[in-house]
Amino acid sequence: MKCAFCDIPEIKAREIAGDELVWAFPTNIPIVSGHTLISPRRCVATYGELTDEERRALEDMRLSVTAALRKAFGAQGFNFAWNDGSSAGQTVPHFHLHVLPRKPGDTGVLKYEPRKFVYRSRERGITPEEELIEVAKMIREGLKSN
């Protein structure tokens, strides 16, 4: 079975930032605009399979991406999440951290309630690639001014 993050060129084209260990890109089914995924380059399914070096790189990338999302989208807060294993709802068997920029007036999850956060309350459409490329560009611009 192909890995969506490793094998689909469209996902690679919307890379925001990365190094030899991790990379970040906008998800194609965002909860809010700017919804970004951070993933290891190495194809591992769960957080527990990451090396200490990959975990440190993931945290460094999380800090950079949140700073960029504050600038690009006016984020005043964030939701961070990952599903660890298929029984927890993980559908892509390649670890990824969801980073959701939040601000007053957002729709969707307005307060953290795990049962509401980890399940979709409504269907979300797939965002056109052109819009995802624009989102990636906005976040890359936010990274440049860090």
Whole domain around residue 129: which residue ranges?
A: 4-139
Least confident segment among 31-35, 47-51, 102-106: 102-106
Domain membership of residue 145 (yes or no) is no
Active site residue 96: yes
Q: What pTM, to 2 d.p., does this model score?
A: 0.79
141 vs 22: which has the higher pLDDT: 22
Dump pLDDT digits (tens) for 75-114: 999 999 999 998 888 899 999 999 999 998 887 655 555 4
Q: List the catalytic residue out of 35, 94, 96, 98.
A: 96
Q: Is residue 146 part of a domain?
A: no
- Find which of 4-18, 54-68, 99-113 is predicted with most confidence, using mean pLDDT: 54-68
| Domains in the chain, number | 1
The pLDDT value given to residue 115: 46
Distance from C-alpha of 64 to C-alpha of 100, rounded to nearest angstrom: 14
| In a domain? residue 144 | no
CATH number of the domain where residue 81 is located = 3.30.428.10
